[in-house]
């Protein structure tokens, strides 16, 4: 489902060249959970952004479901992202002026197959599933860090993505919430036969994966 080949990302900052990702190859199958663990600055977020179609590789290919993500234009990539990829960012990045239901529904109000009502219904169901049934009309600033994180997960799962990408998904959470969040992501992975790729510096959640890889200085070990 995810195929990465010889992927590079080089940043040019003034006269300094930073090779953040250096020739990574990687595959994640349907229904498989792969974690990448590495210290801060090892290139994890850069790698995940390229796999998710958010940052252009300097070199190499990313295939999602056999489709070459970076070979075509932005409109095509948006389509793949909306249709196939659920991205959980390092920070929950919710829109402060929208309720939890609206935060989840918004990106999907424009899709062809659903009425506004159906999309809102789906958003509500997902929020109940992630344990936020009592917070449907709350705003992000009325939620704890863990609750905001769960909204972000519901937002990533609403289109039943074939690919789930998570960057430090439990970054600011206590251990119990961390376990809940991981259980949710794993259930979605198995249920939808999604390919789940997570990057983190947290060894204890990385160990839950089917395969755990280590990243160091832009390279997988
Ligand atoms: N936009 C950017 N411009 C310049 N350098 C960057 C940028 N993003 C990341 N880097 C550098 O690339 C390296 C990898 O960063 P990152 O992918 O964020 O690592 P990680 O997620 O593992 O902490 C670091 O040295 C970082 O400073
Ligand atoms: Mg990072």
Give residue limits of the domains in the chain.
31-45+73-220
Q: What are the tokens at 28?
A: 């994640």
Averaged over 36-40, what is the pLDDT?
96
pLDDT score of 137 more than 80: yes
Name the closest-CA residue to atom 8, ligand 1.
46
What's the confidence (pLDDT) of residue 20? Answer: 97
CATH classification (class only), 31-45+73-220: alpha beta
- Picking from 6, 18, 15, the residue whose alpha carbon sits closest to that of residue 50 is 6
pLDDT, tens only, 90-136: 877 899 999 999 999 887 777 656 677 888 888 999 899 888 999 99
Burial of 88 (0-12, 13-18, 19+ CB in 10 A): buried
- Picking from 40, 154, 145, 147, the residue whose alpha carbon sits closest to that of residue 106 is 154
Point out the least confidently predicted range of 49-53, 69-73, 98-102, 182-186: 182-186
Q: What band does 214 get if pLDDT is binned at 50, 70 and 90?
A: very high
> 10 Å Cβ neighbour count for 187?
12
What's the confidence (pLDDT) of residue 111? Answer: 65
98-115: buried (b, 16+ CB within 10 Å) or exposed (e) per residue?
ebbbbbbbeebeeeeebe
pLDDT score of 141 more than 70: yes
Residue 217's alpha-carbon distances to 37, 57, 107, 165, 213, in angstroms, are 12, 16, 35, 21, 13
Q: What are the tokens at 208?
A: 């839950």
What is the model's pTM? 0.92
> Would you say the CB of residue 42 lies under 6 angstroms from ligand 1?
yes
Q: What are the tokens at 20?
A: 């953040």
C-alpha distance across the termini of the chain, in Å: 21
What's the confidence (pLDDT) of residue 117? Answer: 81
Which of 9, 13, 20 maximizes ligand 1 atoms within 8 Å of its Cβ, making it the mutation to test the pocket?
Answer: 20
- Picking from 156, 205, 203, 201, the residue whose alpha carbon sits closest to that of residue 178 is 205
């Amino acid at each position: 489902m995810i195929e990465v080949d010889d992927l590079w990302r080089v940043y040019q900052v003034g006269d300094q060249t930073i090779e953040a990702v250096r020739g990574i190859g990687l595959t994640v199958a349907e229904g498989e959970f792969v974690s990448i663990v590495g210290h801060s600055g090892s290139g994890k977020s850069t790698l995940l952004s390229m796999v998710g179609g958010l940052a252009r590789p300097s070199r190499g290919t990313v295939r999602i479901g056999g489709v070459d993500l970076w070979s075509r234009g932005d409109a095509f990539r948006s389509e793949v992202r909306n249709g196939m990829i659920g991205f959980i960012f390092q920070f929950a990045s919710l829109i402060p002026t929208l309720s939890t239901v609206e935060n989840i529904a918004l990106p999907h109000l424009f899709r062809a197959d659903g009425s506004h009502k159906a999309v809102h219904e789906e958003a509500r169901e997902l929020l109940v599933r992630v344990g936020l049934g009592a917070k449907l009309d709350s705003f992000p600033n009325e939620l704890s860090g863990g609750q905001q994180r769960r909204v972000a997960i519901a937002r990533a799962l609403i289109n039943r993505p074939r690919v789930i990408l998570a960057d430090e998904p439990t970054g600011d959470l206590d251990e119990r919430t961390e376990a809940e969040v991981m259980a949710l992501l794993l259930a979605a992975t198995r249920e939808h036969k999604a390919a789940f790729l997570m990057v983190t510096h947290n060894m204890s959640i990385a160990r839950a994966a089917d395969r755990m890889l280590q990243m160091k200085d832009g390279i997988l070990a």
